[in-house]
Amino acid sequence: MWKRGVLWLLVLGPLFFASYGFANWFTGQRADVGSLVFAWEPQIPLWSWTIVPYWSIDLLYGLSFLLPACRREMDRHALRLLAAQVICVACFLLWPLRFTFERPPLDGTFGLMFDVLMGFDKPFNQAPSLHITLLVIIWAMFANHTRGLFWRGLLHLWMALIGISVLTTWQHHFIDVPTGALAGFVCLWLLPLQSDTPLKQMRLSSDPRRWRLALRYGLGATLCAVLAAKLGGAWLWLFWPAVALAMVALNYLLFGAGGFRKQADGRFSPAATVLLAPYLLGAWINSRLWTYRRPKPSQVAEGIYLGRLPAPHDLEGFAGLVDLCAELPLQRTPPAYCSLPSLDLVAPDALTCLRAAEAIEHLRHHGPLLVCCALGYSRSATAVAAWLLHSGRCQSVDAAVALIRQARPQVVLGPQHLAALQSMIDAQAGLEVAHAG
């Protein structure tokens, strides 16, 4: 495996110096290079010794290729680093910024290290900081392969020091750090080590409802971005919710529920958690406000309950959970768990209904089972209705929906939900006829 890592280094190394050097040279010829500096930044101290952790990322870059345990992990790690290079260099060329502080002369070993650095690192390549972007990717790789409390603590301490060093060596302004971290997490989200990339799941939706929802989230992202750009200062943090809302819009338009990166254990990947954090907070508050007056699950049949996405204490008494919620992570999973992520405000399709029915039938034998989505009003209600039909407890969609509404009057099942359930029944009937023939 190390030979493949060496081959990747032979490709990425020259590409790094060529693209980074070109961006430096090209931007140095321009007269329109500005800067973005906050008033408090001159208070950042110059700690010459932090050039050591700053330089150490080059060593860690090479060592990171010794860690992957399989070809897939190696290639994904290399592609993450390649994506980081492409994203950052593109930003350097499109929106060039200049570092404005004048560093005083430095003596000794640290001064020599600064002189070597200045030989190829010019003050033009700023936001997003490629140093920070690469740090996020390398940090994630080392964290995946570091065991033991002491070694993990040492790893996180040193990586954090590298992150701080871009400021205390006077190499970057503050704006470069969060934008660099953002670019790094985009690379992690785009190229997961284990599961498929969202690009592989990309399909342009033909559902008008998904288009309308994508438009609403897109407008929200645009509003946040415009306010951030117009107001500046602390308002620049609005770019974070702008990115989160833009990603949600793309999920509705292109990536589907898989774009949220909800894992088999109900949690989100670290990259998705960071990128979507403002949206996740809003979605969680929304789910609690809508269910404030009726937080407890409703029993639909013996051992089958319908409710909102549970907090850890809400799982007491349940042996299993079928989770239809794509946009919120689960903090704790019961012994028997199945995740079937579905988009909010969009009816699950017939195949999802069938899978949910089969999951409910399988997991209910472990004990009391909770079927949930964000509110417990639509997606999870559709799943329970699918189980009632699939198991033969109800003979029609209307009968299944009536039983659920009797147990939980707040459920909202529109024409799309009913059509998906009917499609599931028709597909099952067709299979039975085919088998009989």
Pull the structure tokens for residue 162: 């590298």
* Residue 260 Cα distances to 109, 186, 237, 245, angstroms: 47, 12, 22, 12
**Is the link from the previous residue into 128 a cis peptide, with omega within 30 of 0?**
yes
Q: What are phi and psi of 339, to 5 degrees?
A: -105, 125
Pull the structure tokens for residue 289: 């406000």
CB hemisphere CA count around 284 (13 angstroms): 13
Residue of 187, 224, 338, 373 marked active site? 373
373 labelled catalytic: yes
* Amino acid letter for position 231: L
**Residues 6 or more apart in contact with residue 220 via CB below 8 angstroms:** 241, 245
Residue that is written with structure tokens 């949930």 in the block: 372
Q: What are phi and psi of 291, to 5 degrees?
A: -110, 15
Pull the structure tokens for residue 50: 């932090």
- SS3 assignment, position 86: helix
User: What is the DSSP secondary-structure string of 109-132?
Assistant: HHHHHHHHHHTT--TT--SS-HHH
Q: Which of the residues are catalytic?
A: 373
